[in-house]
């Protein structure tokens, strides 16, 4: 008999009686059969020490010592020790909304500086105090564009992350929003097809730079065409690349979003991560979430407050822009510490180092017979390669050699089963790159 759960029929009957259910089947009647518990044969409970040992042994099964050449939106960047030291201070050990400014000045100032850093980085005028992640930030931007324009059609470039595009469709599945997607041509957004799809019902065009294939693109011409028809342009960006690339603000983008994981957040099996959003000042009241502002108190001292909170908890539900609330402020804190530590010149140097190491990797892989490195467009630290065999199988074999080799494209792009995206960050040494190339050569030539 298990001493930690009810085993006797009398105990089961007693529990069912308390909750008002006639039987176990009656208890789960609201669940479809395939969603019901398969068994109640639970193991005997463990002590705290046994649980810790079990979880630790389970964790050892993860290949956490792999050399990472995989990106696709999440990148293995070096995180300065000071980020952990400062973000771990007890004053910041909450991600919750600072409703009371008189006792939350430290958190509010950090968020204000986070917003300021993002405006400088993106070339935009205003930023909010963060969102959940890059994908949901893109969804929020699309809904913001619909609110601003009063239209319900969204054009998405095929170079936008397929994960983000899937999220966007999922979040809006019950809304009356029309989507159209355009293909990527030689790594770039297809100008002609985008222009052909623009009409008076189009709220926004969604672009990404660098795009999912790693290609860099100046979208200024697309933006000009869209603006002529009253259409907004949303661009998803990789923040590290903005150390050297033309900013969205310089291109004329209306709303900028992105994933902030590369700004001081570790790769953590999917999160928690950090979404960010910046826009032009004229759209500030249509922005989701909250904005922290600087002011003075009754005695004239510098202080910080939540200035705009267009959430349904604070205003009439029909006027609310989003229910975004807690918004991972602790992650935003890490990001602002990271950006402050690097500074303007440090971020430039980091971006240049990523670019240079990726180019060295491309040149190295080009020398391998059977591997074609795609060079139809300039790239930042991520690029596409065509292999002589299925990329998914190659990735599996490369794990055995100690490498997370890349992101196979066939899963999201039919017909590209032999293609994968390779990412290189400042953490990859020359030795890592050469060993990676040799391992890839052996795997590709083994079959």
Tokens of 300: 């004239």
Least confident among 96-100, 190-194, 238-242, 378-382: 96-100
Closest by CA to 108, choosing from 290, 342, 299, 341, is 290
How many other C-beta atoms lie within 10 A of the C-beta of residue 357? 20
Per-residue pLDDT reduced to its tens digit, 285-323: 899 888 999 999 989 999 998 887 755 555 666 666 676
pLDDT band at 120 (very low <50, low <70, confident <90, very high): very high
Mean pLDDT of 97-125: 89
Sheet holding 419-423, edge to edge: 372-373, 382-386, 419-423, 407-408
Was domain 67-76+343-446 assigned CATH 1.10.10.10?
no
pLDDT of residue 96: 65
With b for 16 or more beta-carbon neighbours within 10 A and e for fewer, the 232-254 pattern comes to: bbbbbbbbbbbbbbebbbebbbb
pLDDT band at 5 (very low <50, low <70, confident <90, very high): very low
Chain centroid offset of residue 241 CA:
15
| Cα–Cα distance measured from residue 189 to residue 235, given in angstroms and rounded to the nearest whole number | 12
Half-sphere exposure of 29 (CA within 13 A, CB side): 6
pLDDT of residue 239: 98
CA Rg, the chain, in Å? 25
pLDDT band at 98 (very low <50, low <70, confident <90, very high): confident
**Contact call for residues 334 and 263 (beta carbons, < 8 A):** yes
What is the second-level CATH architecture of the domain 90-339? 3-Layer(aba) Sandwich (3.40)
DSSP 235-258: EEE-GGGGGTSPPHHHHT-SEEEE
Closest by CA to 420, choosing from 379, 441, 389, is 389
pLDDT of residue 271: 81
Per-residue pLDDT reduced to its tens digit, 38-85: 887 878 889 999 999 999 999 888 767 899 999 999 999 999 999 999
Residue with the bigger pLDDT between 5 and 85: it is 85
Closest by CA to 151, choosing from 204, 194, 193, is 204
Domain positions in the chain are 67-76+343-446, 90-339
Which pTM value belongs to this model?
A: 0.88
């Amino acid at each position: 008999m298990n001493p930690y759960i009810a085993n006797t029929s009398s105990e089961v009957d007693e529990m069912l009686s308390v909750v008002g259910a006639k039987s176990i089947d009656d208890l789960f009647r609201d669940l479809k059969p395939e969603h019901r518990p398969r068994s109640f044969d639970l193991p005997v409970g463990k002590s705290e020490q046994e649980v810790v040992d079990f979880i630790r042994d389970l964790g050892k099964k993860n290949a956490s010592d792999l050399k990472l050449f995989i990106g696709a939106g999440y990148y293995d960047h070096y995180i300065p020790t000071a980020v952990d030291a400062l973000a771990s201070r007890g004053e910041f050990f909450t991600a919750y909304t600072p409703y009371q400014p008189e006792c939350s000045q430290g958190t509010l100032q950090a968020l204000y500086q986070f917003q300021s850093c993002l405006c400088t980085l993106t070339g935009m005028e205003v930023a909010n105090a963060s969102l959940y992640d890059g994908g949901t930030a893109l969804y929020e931007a699309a809904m913001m564009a619909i609110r601003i324009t009063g239209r319900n059609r969204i054009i998405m470039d095929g170079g936008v992350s397929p994960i983000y595009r899937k999220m966007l469709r999922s979040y809006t599945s019950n809304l009356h929003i029309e989507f159209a997607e355009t293909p990527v041509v030689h790594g770039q957004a297809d100008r002609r097809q985008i222009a052909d799809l623009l009409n008076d019902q189009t709220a926004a065009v969604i672009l990404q730079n660098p795009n999912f294939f790693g290609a860099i693109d100046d979208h200024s011409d697309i933006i000009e065409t869209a603006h002529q028809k009253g259409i907004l342009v949303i661009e998803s960006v990789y923040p590290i690349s903005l150390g050297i690339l033309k900013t969205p603000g310089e291109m004329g983008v209306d709303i900028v979003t992105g994933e902030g994981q590369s700004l001081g957040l570790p790769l953590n099996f999917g999160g928690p991560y950090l979404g960010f959003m910046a826009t032009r000042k004229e759209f500030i009241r249509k922005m989701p979430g909250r904005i922290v502002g600087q002011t003075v108190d009754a005695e004239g001292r510098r202080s910080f407050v939540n200035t705009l909170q267009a959430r349904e908890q604070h205003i009439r539900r029909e006027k609310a822009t989003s229910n975004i609330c807690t918004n991972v402020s602790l992650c935003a804190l890490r990001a602002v510490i990271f950006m402050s530590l690097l500074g303007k010149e440090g971020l430039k140097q980091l971006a240049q180092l990523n670019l240079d190491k990726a180019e060295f990797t491309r040149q190295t892989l080009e020398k391998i017979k059977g591997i074609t490195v795609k060079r139809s467009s300039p790239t930042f630290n991520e690029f596409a390669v065509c292999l002589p065999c299925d990329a998914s199988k190659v990735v599996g074999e490369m794990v055995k050699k100690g490498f997370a080799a890349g992101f196979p494209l066939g899963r999201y792009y039919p017909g590209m089963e032999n293609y994968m995206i390779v990412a290189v960050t400042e953490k990859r040494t020359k030795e890592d790159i050469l060993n990676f190339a040799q391992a890839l050569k052996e795997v590709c030539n083994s079959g």
